[in-house]
Structure 1
Amino acid sequence: MGDFDQKSNEINGDEAPTTEQVEKGLKERKVSWTKLGRIDSLNREAGKVSNEPGHKNKLDWRTTLSLAFQSVGVIYGDVGTSPLYVYSSTFLDGIKHDDDLLGVLSLIIYTLAISPMIKYVFIVLWANDHGNGGTFALYSLICRYAKVGLMPNQQPEDRELSHYKLDTPSSQLKRAQKIKGGLENSKFMQILLFCLTILGIGMVIGDGILTPSISVLSAVGGIKQSAKSLNQDAVVWISVVILILLFSAQRFGTDKVGSTFAPIILLWFFFISGIGLYNLFKHDVTVLRAFNPMYIIRYFQRNGKAAWVSLGGVVLCITGTEAMFADLGHFSVRAIQISFSGVVFPALLSCYIGQAAYLSKHKDDVHDTFYKSIPGPIYWPTFVIAVAAAIIASQAMISAAFAIITQALSLGAFPRVKVVHTSAKYEGQVYIPELNYFIMIATVLITIIFRTTEQIGNAYGIAVVSVMVITTNLVTLIMLFIWKTSIWLVALFYVVLLTTEVTYLSAVLYKFTKGGYLPVVLALMLMSMMGVWHYVHIKRYRFELKNKVSGDFVRDLVKNQDVNRIRGIGLLYSELVQGIPPIFPHFVNNIPSIHSVLVFVSIKRIPVSKVAAEERFLFRQVERKDYRMFRCVARYGYNDAVGKSEEFERDLVQNMKEFIRYESYVLEYGSTEDTNTNQLAAEVVSVPHSGQIAASALSSNSSSGIHTAPLVDADKEIEFVETAMEKGVVYLLGETEVVAEENSSILKKAVVNYFYHFMRKNLRESDKILSIPHRKLLKVGMTYEI
């Protein structure tokens, strides 16, 4: 923006601008004739910019290693504390056969290798949305390549954002085009994709609730090994205190929490790998035979249904795996790959193999394998580290829950809550107070009610595997029509992963009545809440689109002597991006005055992680220039925070002044070309820092000479805007009450009039989300019947 300001100063000086100056300015600003479109939809008004953003995968090695170190403390506490309870959850009735131990160890080894290592670390992490992971990132990625979003506010210019621009599927790859067309033409598939996404989010939240309970209870339970006087009641209440302290620390942010916890988790991995190697060489090195997958086959042949049921315990070895992807926005692909491959995976293998070696000689200790296998001299240090690691274990899924809900919130799929960005160094690190307290209360209640890890483990498995199955299906879709991967590789990925995960899912669902229902109930509750909010959000938007204000109303309004134009700038907020909202006439009827400069502002969330600052604003003139009314679309990615009111005002007015000046340039060039072009230019919006001007248009216009009259007019308009800015900015908000139409079904009335109304009244209001000070705020209510 600095180059433009310099050129503006040159033009505003005593010397008239030369042809070369204006041509250079236009080339740099890249106003495009070829992208001008219909005036009522703000179509094709933003070109792409050349500055492709630097993503986290391009971080220098020092930052990458720092993030890798932090990731150990934030992401892997859950999967790292699984050795506390995996064998006890698998062998509920004890070890019946010596080779059963080898069969289960073999299952653990290959489950760890296939799911976290191959699937997530080397494949799924790359299906990120500009460095952001999780179920909603997969959904937004699909939405960018195919029009499958349910909100009818997609615009062609959105696809030309630098953070949005992706290679169009090649015409030679008919498979990708066919799948894309099928998704866009099938309402059922669009709804199914959205439902799968919010189901995955619900399961992640359920995982975040169950993780602290099972991890802390398992770790604290070890105290009974040496303190015989303590019973289970003491373990439960000690766990509750620890959980409350943990959730209280979340407000400090992932950066500080991760840096604090990482040394403890690193020490934990050092302890469990050392203890594992000690047990391996002391007790039975032959358990290494479990690397032969034949032991898995023999295990199932020997035990049948009992082996299948035991998978519900084995799958707990990969709890928290989804956090590697969901927490990607806090770190980077390379950082997670380094930390998992270099630290976590070898430490876990050593621990599980060592426990198997110990159990081969002490089968009766299977119900308390971890603590029984610790050498006496280091028992208490290990216990302390275990408790600390279990406390940290919940951090992974809590952080994942924050990241995913932030994405859903920004795309209108979750009720309004406060999002606090906790780090100035690393984007994507957020804290949501309401969600933190909700998870804390639910976790404490589950700990008190269930008391032991057995039933919690039954519930835990369903939450873990359900999210994995959803991720596998969405990533397969991405591989088919976005990555355009070989069909054979896609088939291999899908068959191997889905077969493995569905087998595990069937095993954990077998325990549905024994606590497994818990995450399903939680997920369905969250799905209902998100589904209702998104449904009404879409209906309200469609109502505004259908009832938008005509140009005749604006012209009559300006001519109406009873309506005063008062000094200042008025910003009227609406979600409508394709016209003037119906709340505007309601404002005028109640307050027969409008500001000398009026801007209809729409905060639009784009399904990308971030929108570059220079691509933030779209403008167009409403009717004649002397009306001084504008439409503005301010675009934000789901990881962008709307700035404070002063910052937002400054950026908006600055971009509006640039629009006024360059609209004058476009009008001047158009007037020398032809009448049709001039008419088109008068109707459309040019976007600062965007587009690309046709070389032929430049050459022909420059040969006609440069006229300074439009520049003078632009200076007057800019001066008028600056004067209005000095008089003050007022935010006009429409508080719309949404109700179901009288002839609606009973279900629709219940959903809209009661469920949605309850959520809206008990959550944050628009002015708090936009950080608007009360002294600048004016509200008018209106009822929408949908």
Structure 2
Amino acid sequence: MKEIMSSTQTRNVAGFGSAKLHIITLAALGIVFGDIGTSPLYALKECFSTEHGIPFSPDAVLGIISMLFWAITIVVSLKYILFVMRADNNGEGGVLSLMALALRTATSGSRNAKILMMLGVFGACMFYGDAVITPAISVLSAVEGIDIATPALSHYVVPITVVILTVLFLIQRHGTTLVGKLFGPVMFVWFLALALLGVVNMMKAPQILAAVNPYHAIAFMQQHALQAFVVLGSVVLVLTGAEALYADMGHFGIRPIRFAWLYTVMPSLMLNYFGQGANLLVNPSAIQNPFYLMVPDVLLVPMVVLATAATVIASQAVISGAFSMTSEAILLGFVPRMRILHTSEDERGQIYIPIINWMLLVLVVAVVLAFKKSDNLAAAYGVAVTTTMLITTVLAGVVMRRIWKWHPLLVALVIGGFFIVDFAFFSANLLKIVDGGWFPLLLGAIAFFLLMTWYAGRMLLRERTKDEGIPLEPFVEGLLAHPPHRVEGTAVFMTGNVETVPVAMLHNLKHNRILHKRVFFLKISIWDVPFVEDSKRLSLKKLGSDVYILRAAFGFKEAPDVNTVMALATAQHGLEFDLMDTSFFLARDTVVPSKIPGMHLWREKLFAWMYQNAAKPSDFFHIPVNRVVELGTKIEI
């Protein structure tokens, strides 16, 4: 899985030796590069699609192979490997981490902050489109090798694809720790096979190496201006998965990913694309399926099996990425709390979110049944990929200027160049909206609307609670001056705002008329960093007579856990906690939409529905069920 390394390993990768580097690089091969590594199955075939109207010729082959070569070099090697991966948020990458980093440069609540936040959230939402399309197009393109190996079984391609994907989603709840250990070796064999196939086929037509010269790409674009622009929408398919290099940086570190890319993945991909091009020069009829028709007949069936395994691994990485990103979005306040299960006792990053898993399964199967062929899915894939790439470029520009303090001219030169390339790919894919590009845009727009509704609703709810709340410290001072009957034990009142009295406490005093011997007002905050050191996690304030305000901070890559908080409070402040003598009081709010100024009434109703169906705070914060006391209240928004 994507989170195969622990966070401790991740933060210590800077100084590892060559042996450890090779081990981590092998692991990265199986997780990071599955998506981009399976692009040879369909990318070149789509570039020569008959719909583009490009007359087949040796010059066209050289031109398109040259475009592929320079697209990979500029976007992946220069943009991501050299520049974007330097923009890490405490070692973490990905569009949400980049958004959190960029937001530090803007005033909270300002127009710039809102724009940066919306860009980051929409980029994350487009990843969900990627998470749906990647398994569908990858596995479908691999299984389509049956058409070449055994044409009589071609009508089984879609059913076999659906079965493979269904099994893949069904095993998610069991975790992939065991099979995950095979991902690296299998992908290494895959890349080795890509390279060998490329070399063997290049020997048939060595002149394909001339495509390294950008002249051929430029000449092709000049000679076929309109068609070349349309082909850009297919060329981008060689870049699918490039964002994963950045997103997975926190799990493996920069060095292993760069090492794997420069010394294994990029050479293998280049050799294979050039090999496909060489085969087309010798055998133009191979355009039907450039990848499988470059494979010797005797190796065709094994290659279909290996390709299917590689695409399943690529799909697994994207699914795990969807779980990871959803968890981050929950902690950053953009997604309602959901039930999150940890599938490994050793690696806390390996998680499973049931509702996301089943939603993805339904959507992926529906996409396979609707589109039926990988060719038909290519248009949808490009839109999802280029949108996220474009957003990453914009956010990286903000970081370069405001955090790295680069000279404006240098930022304009670097980001301007990347933006032109990204926008060219993006605009070319907009031509394919009617052919399927609408799907990821629609999916991303729906997700974006839901996430922003949840975020706006939470801000509104927090504002209402703060406005109607009673100041905490004066209240406690008055309460201790004339205390009610105090009982043995510890009461922990979970609160989102330590400035006001928790509603749960007011209800407890009103109905039970007691106060525990020890009282804690516990607020758990999520900081805009991936991880928080234990030395900085807790802060304690004494209000007198064993009443405390306890603040606990977690990063957006961590799992908030009251057991961790209690253990640290004992170790750092000498506060002993006996679970059997501790009660956790939570307010179970019921949100009531009203005509009070806020969101539109229909959006407030949607937020109220989302709020009521969110996971219980006791489950989310890992509070022992038999120690929870929930007290209900209504809040109008």
In the superposition, the TM-score normalised over structure 2's length comes to: 0.93
Contact 2:30 2:184 in 1 (8 A): yes
Q: Structure 1 residues 540, 63: closer, same or farther in 2, change over 3 A?
A: farther
Partner in structure 2 of residue 342 of structure 1: 263
Contact 1:326–1:403 (CA<8 Å) still a contact in 2? Answer: no
Separation (CA, whole Å) in 2 of partners of 1:54 and 1:768: 28
The answer to whether 1:204 aligns with 2:127 is: yes
Query: Comparing 735-744 with 456-465, which one deviates more in the overlay?
Result: 735-744
Aligned partner of 1:553 in structure 2 is: 475
CA–CA separation in structure 1 for the residues paired with 2:415 and 2:267: 26
Q: Which one has a bigger Cα radius of gyration?
A: 1
State the partner residue of 2:619: 768
Matches of 2:230 and 2:16, distance apart in 1: 45
- Per-residue deviation, 1:416: 1.0
| 8 Å contact kept, 1:135–1:404 | no
In structure 2, the CA distance between the partners of 1:120 and 1:427, relative to structure 1 (3 Å rule), is farther
Q: 1:129 aligned to 89, 92, 96, which one?
A: 89
Number of the residue aligned with 2:557: 639
State, as a whole percentage, how many aligned pairs show the same letter: 30
CA distance in 1, matches of 2:179, 2:259: 20
Which of 96, 112, 120 aligns to 1:189? It is 112
Partner of 1:575: 496
1:228 to partner: Cα distance:
2.2
Q: Is the 8 A contact 1:209 1:443 kept in 2?
A: yes
Instruction: Spell out, residue by residue over 1:314-350, the C-alpha distance to the aligned partner (whole angstroms, 9 max, x if none).
Output: 1101111111111223221111111111110000000
Letter of the structure 1 residue corresponding to residue 94 of structure 2: G
Q: Is the 8 A contact 2:493 2:502 kept in 1?
A: no
Residues 588-630 of structure 1: per-residue CA shift (max 9 Å, x gap): 22332121111111011111111111221111122xx23x211
Are 1:455 and 1:516, in contact at CA under 8 Å, matched by a contact in 2? no
Counterpart of 1:100 in structure 2 is 60
Deviation string 1:631-689 (CA, Å, 9 cap, x unpaired) is 111111112223364x54343345444xxxxxxxxxxxxxxxxxxxxxxxxxxxxxxxx
Determine the structure 2 residue equivalent to 1:679: none
Amino acid at match of 2:439: L
Query: Which of 528, 549, 554 is equivalent to 1:607?
Result: 528
SS in 2 for 1:230: helix
Residue 731 of structure 1: aligned partner: 584
The answer as to 2:317 corresponding to 1:396 is yes
- How many residues align? The count is 624
- Offset, 1:396: 3.0
Task: Quote the Cα distance in structure 2 between the aligned partners of 1:55 and 1:147.
Answer: 33
1:396-445 deviation line (CA, Å, top 9, x unaligned): 32232223222221111111123345556666444333322222221111
Query: Who is 1:88 aligned against?
Result: 45
SS of alignment partner, residue 558 of structure 2? coil
Q: Which string of whole-angstrom CA distances, capped at 9 and with x for unpartnered residues, describes residues 444-488 of structure 1?
A: 111111111122110000000110000011111101111122434
Separation (CA, whole Å) in 2 of partners of 1:433 and 1:268:
31
Question: Which residue of 332, 337, 346 corresponds with 1:411?
Answer: 332
Structure 1 residue 248, shift from structure 2 partner = 3.3
How far, CA to CA, are the matches of 1:540 and 1:257 in structure 2?
44
State the Cα distance separating 1:738 from its structure 2 match: 2.2
1:475 aligns with 2:396: yes
Q: Which runs of 5+ in 1 are unaligned?
A: 1-52, 151-186, 658-720
Structure 1 equivalent of residue 30 of structure 2:
73
Q: What is the identity, as a one-letter code, of the residue corresponding to 1:618?
A: S
Q: Mark the CA change 1:245 to 1:59 in structure 2 (over 3 Å): closer, same or farther.
A: farther
Query: Quick one: which amino acid aligns to residue 139 of structure 1?
Result: M
- The aligned runs of 1:1-400 (5 Å cut-off) are 54-93=11-50, 95-148=55-108, 187-232=110-155, 234-251=156-173, 253=175, 256-282=178-204, 284-400=205-321
Task: List per-residue Cα deviations over 1:715-742 (Å, max 9, x = no partner).
Answer: xxxxxx75x8587110000111223343
Query: How far did 1:298 drift?
Result: 1.5
The more displaced of 202-211 and 486-495 is 486-495
**1:674 alignment counterpart:** none
Partner residue in 2 for 1:651: 568
Quick one: structure 1 residues 58 and 532, their matched pair in 2 at CA, closer, same or farther if it must change by over 3 Å?
A: farther
- Separation (CA, whole Å) in 2 of partners of 1:315 and 1:575: 45
Cα shift at 1:504: 0.6
CA RMSD of aligned residues (A): 2.2
Q: Closer, same or farther in 2 for the Cα pair 1:268/1:585, shift >3 Å?
A: same
Q: How many angstroms apart in 2 are the aligned matches of 1:118 and 1:257?
A: 33
Q: Which amino acid aligns with 2:629?
A: L
Of 576, 593, 604, 1:740 maps to 593
How far, CA to CA, are the matches of 2:464 and 2:486 in structure 1?
A: 29
**Whole-Å separation in 1 of the counterparts to 2:572 and 2:522:** 13
The alignment's TM-score, normalised by the length of structure 1, stands at 0.76
The residue type paired with residue 115 of structure 2 is: L
What letter is aligned with 1:334? R
The 1:759–1:603 alpha-carbon spacing in structure 2 relative to 1, beyond 3 Å, is: same
Distance, in Å, in 1 between the alignment partners of 2:569 and 2:187 is 46
Question: Could you say what secondary structure the match of 1:387 adopts?
Answer: helix
Distance in 1 between residues matched to 2:618 and 2:369, nearest whole Å: 39
